[in-house]
Structure 1
Amino acid sequence: MLKRRIKISKNGLIFIIVFIIVLIAYFGSPLSKVRDINVKGVNDLGAQQVINATKIDENSTLLDVLLHHGSISKKTAKKLSSIKSVTFRTYNLRDLVINVKEYPTLGYINKDGGYYRIIDNGRVLNQKLNSPIGNYPIYSNFNSGRLREIANIYADLPSNVQTNISEFYNSPTKLNPYRIKIDMNDGNKVIADMRTVKTKLKYYPGMAAQMKKRGVIDLEIGAYSYPFNVKK
């Protein structure tokens, strides 16, 4: 078997040597340090919050970030539980882009005098907030199992229904342990059954449009509405 010899011309060798010298000089100079950081993909997190979690600052070098991007991503996601993934890319030889993918927010639960964010599959983040962020529903009186169930139901609802939901209440009765109540942003209230609410709520916009006054839409057994001043 013949061995091929790679021949490098004198000019080519000089180019390689110069390139290595320039590369070493660059990474050993202040020019190799991160100048600007641009965070993309954040919805409910703040850009500075992400930057602080990565611990990347003006003293960090791009080479160090690129070499340790895996461990930086893991530490960032561990510190900010709502982050699904973090990736990095560079531009202009000195600037850094942090691409963030968050778990979708499914709402908030009010407990211990604060609000806690609910993400995928009803998982509650251990981060106390003074008030909810964004237009997401509040969940009241649900145990952990029921919370996961109702949060997943909310995740599958049409967007025009999601944006109109203000708060879910667990409101069981002796006759129906699956009974829930829902406050809507348009002023109406909904009574429903957890086992059928996902299917029935898609009819809410049409039913609400036909109501002359604000009131109750009862979806627990059938599907009908009545004004607040009518007792049922």
Structure 2
Amino acid sequence: MFRFKNGTGAIYSVNNPIFNKIGLFFTVIILLVILSQLLFFLRPWQKIKEAKVSTFQMDYRQVLKRINLNVGDPYWLWAGQEQAVKNRVKNDRTIRSISMKMNQKGFVTVAVTENLTTGYIQKGQHWYRLDQNAKSRSGIVQPDGQAPVYTNFQIGSKVLKNTIKAYLLLDKVMRSDIGQIIYSPIKGSQKRLALIMNDGNLVYINASEMNRRMDLYPQMLATMEKKGIQTGVIDLEYGGFARKFQDSDKHLLDSASYTKNQSSQKSSSSKK
């Protein structure tokens, strides 16, 4: 139908069924295009096939649980939900930032930047969590065994900062193997560290060499086994050799009875 005015101001209308059908046809086409675009975006037949999570410290299952994402979820449930995922963890103290990407085949990638817990340090009667900058956070009841205890360090000291920096360069498996890090300088080595491992061994090493020389640890375990040493000392400060405990080593271990007990509990629970 067309409406127009002539010079006298009268309104005329023309009702043409052909034009009406053409208009209806194009309207249907537009609606179909919009619907197809919507279906292509939401993909109601598609499900989440796989979720890959990139973290430094957190377990991937923790991340998926916190954003409530599960393999097998409908694709449309997560389409365009990148901002919603960020909102779900905005009050989570362990997560600094998070991003999510999803392709049309149902593969999800989640990248997490964490506020790391690099260990725990005791000041007076209270334990404090240390972040990646060697700064202490809120007081806690006791360490949870997921990161090492730092002993004989001053909070905020250069030695502690360098030690944490070296610790973070280790791979995830090696980091989880360390139960306690003791600043243990001696006359001939003012930067010596003593690492009490969760398997009961004691490692002497320098922080500046930790990332490079801790790669030798599995090899040294094999050497100990050949020598018939169940647990002992692995010295990676100068060269690399394994030996039995001496009195000075035992004294150091006795002073770390807290971690020693925690390590044995962790080791026994992991065997179960």
Q: TM-score, normalised by structure 1?
A: 0.58
Within 5 A, what are the aligned runs for 1:178-193?
A: 178-193=191-206
Cα pair distance change 1:71/1:152, threshold 3 Å: same
- How far apart, CA to CA, are the structure 2 residues paired with 1:194 and 1:230? 24
Letter matched to residue 86 of structure 2: S
Letter matched to residue 26 of structure 2: G
Structure 2: runs of 5 or more not aligned: 1-21, 35-50, 69-76, 250-272
Q: Is the 8 A contact 1:140 1:170 kept in 2?
A: yes
C-alpha RMSD over aligned residues: 4.9
Q: Tell me the equivalent position of 1:200.
A: 213
- How far apart, CA to CA, are the structure 2 residues paired with 1:130 and 1:80? 18
Cα pair distance change 1:83/1:175, threshold 3 Å: same
Q: Is the 8 A contact 1:106 1:154 kept in 2?
A: no
> 1:180 deviation in Å?
1.0
The partner residue of 2:120 within 101, 109, 112 is: 109
The partner residue of 2:98 within 81, 85, 92 is: 85
Between the two proteins, what is the percent identity of the paired residues?
A: 22
Helix, strand or coil at the partner of 1:83: strand
Cα pair distance change 1:152/1:16, threshold 3 Å: same
Q: Tell me the equivalent position of 1:223.
A: 240
The partner residue of 2:178 within 149, 157, 165 is: 165
> 1:181 deviation in Å?
0.7
Q: Is the 8 A contact 1:114 1:131 kept in 2?
A: yes
- How far apart, CA to CA, are the structure 1 residues paired with 2:85 and 2:173? 38
Which structure carries more helix by proportion?
Answer: 2
Whether 2:155 is the aligned partner of 1:141: answer no
CA deviations 1:191-223 (Å, max 9, x no partner) are 222233333222222122212222112233343
Cα pair distance change 1:190/1:85, threshold 3 Å: same
When Rg is computed on C-alpha atoms for both structures, the one with the higher figure is 2
Q: Is the 8 A contact 2:128 2:136 kept in 1?
A: no
- How far apart, CA to CA, are the structure 1 residues paired with 2:212 and 2:160? 18
Cα pair distance change 1:40/1:226, threshold 3 Å: closer
- How far apart, CA to CA, are the structure 1 residues paired with 2:197 and 2:33? 64
Letter matched to residue 12 of structure 1: F
> 1:182 deviation in Å?
0.4
Cα pair distance change 1:76/1:128, threshold 3 Å: farther
Cα pair distance change 1:19/1:123, threshold 3 Å: farther
Q: TM-score, normalised by structure 2?
A: 0.51
Corresponding residue pairs, total: 200
- How far apart, CA to CA, are the structure 2 residues paired with 1:229 and 1:176? 18
Cα pair distance change 1:231/1:123, threshold 3 Å: closer
Structure 1: runs of 5 or more not aligned: 1-7, 21-38, 52-61, 92-96
Helix, strand or coil at the partner of 1:149: helix
- How far apart, CA to CA, are the structure 2 residues paired with 1:184 and 1:76? 33
